[in-house]
Amino acid sequence: MKTFISLLTIISLTVSQVMAGEGMWVLSLIGKNYQQMKEAGFRLTPEDIYSINQTCLKDAIVSLNDGECTAEFVSTKGMLLTNHHCGYEDIQSISSVSNDYLTNGFWAKKMADEIPIKGKTAALLISIEDVTDKILTPSTLRLGPESQIAVIEGTIESLEEEYSENGKYKAEISNFFNGNYYYMFKYVVYKDIRLVGAPPESIGQFGGENDNFAWPRQGADFCIFRVYTAPDGSPAEYSEKNIPYVPQKYLKINTKGVNEGDFAMIIGYPAETQRHYSPRQIRMLKDNFSVLSETYKQKLDITKSFMDSDDAIRIQYASKHTEDYNAYKYYYDTYRCINDLKVIERRQKAETDLDKWISADKKSKYKKVIQQYNNDLIANSQNDIYMNYWLASMYAGCEFVKFGSKHYMLYHYLSIGYRQKVEEIVKELKANSEAYFRNYNPKIDYTVSKQMLKYYVDHVPQKYCPAGSNDSAFFLLLEQNFTTSILTDKDRYNNFLKNPSAEALSQDLLFLLAVEIVEKMDYFQASDALECKTEVHYRDYTKAMMEMAKSINPDTLFYPDANSTMRLTYGKVCGYTYQGKDMGWYTTFESLIAKKNNNDRDFMVLPELQNLFDKRDFGTYAYNDTLRLCFLTDNDISGGNSGSAVLNGDGDIIGLAFDGNQEAMSCDIMFEPDIQRTICVDIRYVLFVIDKFAKAGNIISELEFVN
């Protein structure tokens, strides 16, 4: 019997444990999992999932904005289905107080009404190729750490340029198993993406911050885009002449519904996991997450107070606040779960087993690998903490810091009189400034920055802080500069860009402070020598774990950590029990009405939705006189999987994955088969909202249904 495990899960798993959903599998290698999938209810073939010789499921799945989310084609005219929270920033960017698509939703009744989303991209995977032998050559592996990493990086750059075919493709090489394998991913990137439909946030984000990472859930977390191409079908920037993309493959919608125990699989782009971290790495991660959660919480309290006082600010900062809250919740709950689920202690046992296995072989080439790797981590552990204080409070906390630092190269080229470069940078800054100032409020930035600077100064050594920041006069000067800086006012900024000068920047104290803060980052970074040594030792540590597992069970199959490349996870529809309570596996319309509170934006129920409930007008989407809203699976997902279609054994859509549950938030580090679940919106609830609530028959008519 084959065993499916992450590298540090050393004890062999039974078949039932395997089917608890663990594993983010590379599509080109999925044939090795086929028998298990077939026994669980998969009714297609490996070639139906991934092939370069025929259309397959990979041809229906795209990565949005370089891995931020996943989406899937659901029509012959390039219509994409994804999560509402994946389009939230886009919806916010086109909203205003007078045209509030966040509150009211948006439904294009015809293609001409669809709204172009500036900067949004959809990357379609063309192929996956193992290029390990081209990168980890015997001569490269004989080099010392610094030379070795330099050669590897150079080879990767050359191969990516070669495989891009002069820009026809986006070619990316990703490492797997911490540098033990390398795969080339080729994509075609589409750049004309338009919004087709989105429910009001009271439907798409029902429960809001309160229900984030929580179960039970009732949100219809979906929105709809469309991909457009040039008339010849090639990728193109927005143009009125562009036409809807015709996908090679699109997914059908299954309206039969799901039952507990049904097969479920998800194909998408999980962002990042740390399943192969050592116990010391997890301990460092936990300490960092404590810092990050505390910092984000302070920022959230300030922005929320401004948003509650003004609708214009609410719309302006909606996306930023949601992103910050999601980060806070993730860091806080992961920190808590590492403790509650004793993740470090369990991972320590795996490392102890590794140590024993190495010691049993007197000739082992891994004799020093554990000690070497842990020494590398210790060498930079304190700076790692300071880096996270800087990252959360300074770079992510103070808007003027990130924005101001983007002008450093402009200052440099102005100083040396390199006019061509100045013109190029000014053009780019001007193009991006409109969106920046549309979503910027200097009063909020000052209030947050003042708090973040004080917090930072209180927690890191003075040498890492801006000069004079331990003096009250510093903060008086900060307030004054917010009222005069070119970085905090659209008109002042545009006037500067009309006639930019190094002198103007050198006299702008907020710009100088931003540069000073960013330069502090150099203090925290490990030396190149230490970084390269750590990378090589981590690769060897991981390889030792793999060899130990193979020695226990030669048929063991490993899955690599998520790294924003396309993966497949398979399992079943199921609930869970937590602290003796049956948490169930689905929710109904009744549970949404039970949470209703029209005095709280997170739990508002619109009159039109209430009316449909009161009339029991669920259309053809009902189940036993009610409407099921969300359900659970034991699939293995991470950030980036948001928007992924949940598929049945025939590859048809039964739902959309949109969240994980807070009881197992350390799942990126260690899979928890008993309590880790994927929260999905039932596709029938999605159809109900489009059909019965929005009356968007034009969207329904594009879809293909199976039952």
Q: How far is residue 660 CA from its own chain's centroid?
A: 13
Per cent of the chain over pLDDT 90 is: 92
Q: How confident is the model at residue 250 (pLDDT cuts 50, 70, 90)?
A: very high
**Strand, helix or coil for residue 1:** coil
Q: Please give the average per-residue pLDDT across 558-577, as a whole number.
A: 97
Q: Please give the average per-residue pLDDT across 291-299, as a whole number.
A: 95
Q: Please give the average per-residue pLDDT across 628-654, as a whole number.
A: 98
Whether 85 is a known active-site residue: answer: yes
Record the pTM: 0.94
CA dihedral (329, 333, 336, 338) in degrees, to 10, reads -130
- pLDDT score at 19: 40
- pLDDT score at 521: 86
pLDDT in tens, 82-108: 999 999 999 999 999 999 999 999 999
Q: How confident is the model at residue 525 (pLDDT cuts 50, 70, 90)?
A: confident
Cβ-defined contacts of 31-39 (< 8 Å, 24+):
32/2, 32/557, 33/4, 33/557, 33/570, 36/2, 36/4, 37/265, 37/570
- pLDDT score at 12: 33
d(CA 669, CA 658): 19
Q: Please give the average per-residue pLDDT across 252-261, as a whole number.
A: 96
Beta bridge pairs of residue 182? 175
- pLDDT score at 526: 78
Q: Please give the average per-residue pLDDT across 226-231, as a whole number.
A: 98
Q: Please give the average per-residue pLDDT across 262-268, as a whole number.
A: 98
Q: CA-CA distances (angstroms) from residue 253 to 55, 72, 125, 655? A: 18, 12, 22, 9
- pLDDT score at 11: 33
Beta bridge pairs of residue 61? 72
**Strand, helix or coil for residue 497:** helix
**6, 59, 63, 85: the active-site residue:** 85
CA angle 439, 440, 444 (to 5 degrees): 130
pLDDT in tens, 163-201: 999 999 999 999 999 999 999 999 999 999 999 999 999
- pLDDT score at 608: 97
d(CA 164, CA 161): 5
Q: Please give the average per-residue pLDDT across 46-59, as a whole number.
A: 97
Name the residue among 461, 600, 571 with its Cα closest to residue 523.
461
CB contact at 8 A, 346 and 120 = no
Q: Please give the average per-residue pLDDT across 201-217, as a whole number.
A: 96
CB contact at 8 A, 106 and 679 = no
For residue 14, pLDDT over 70 is answered with: no
Whether 600 is a known active-site residue: answer: no
**93, 449, 485, 642: the active-site residue:** 642
Q: Please give the average per-residue pLDDT across 133-155, as a whole number.
A: 97
- pLDDT score at 21: 84
Whether 642 is a known active-site residue: answer: yes
Q: How confident is the model at residue 20 (pLDDT cuts 50, 70, 90)?
A: low
For residue 18, pLDDT over 50 is answered with: no
Least confident among 20-24, 448-452, 567-571: 20-24
Q: Which residues contact 501 (CB under 8 A, 6 or more apart)?
A: 414
Q: How confident is the model at residue 15 (pLDDT cuts 50, 70, 90)?
A: very low
d(CA 384, CA 335): 16
Q: CA-CA distances (angstroms) from residue 65 to 95, 101, 250, 401, 580? A: 20, 21, 20, 24, 41
DSSP string covering 507-546, please? T-HHHHHHHHHHHTHHHHSPPHHHHHHHHHHHHHHHHHHH
Give helix 528-552 / helix 369-379 axis angle, nearest 10°: 140
